[in-house]
Amino acid sequence: MPVQVNPDETTRAMAFRLWMNVPDPMVTFIQTIDVTNLVRIGKKKKLKFNMLLLYCIGKAV
């Protein structure tokens, strides 16, 4: 029989609380990312920042 786990009692309680409060739980950032190069490339080549960011996330996956 499966045992139910209370997320507040685990070692990942803080991560779980942060994940539950995000507006879009499908995309959760764990670490701050320096996007200076993306902004620079976007301005130079006239590409949108969101498009470049999604491309990088897709390549990482």
The residue range of the domain holding 29 is 7-60
**37: in domain:** yes
DSSP string for residues in 1-61:
-PPP--GGGSTTHHHHHHHHHSS-TTS---S----HHHHHHHHHHT--HHHHHHHHHHHH-
pTM equals: 0.47
**2: in domain:** no
Q: What is the pLDDT of residue 26?
A: 65
Residue-by-residue pLDDT tens, the chain, 61 positions: 788 888 778 878 887 777 777 776 666 566 777 889 999 999 999 999 999 988 988 888 7
**31: in domain:** yes
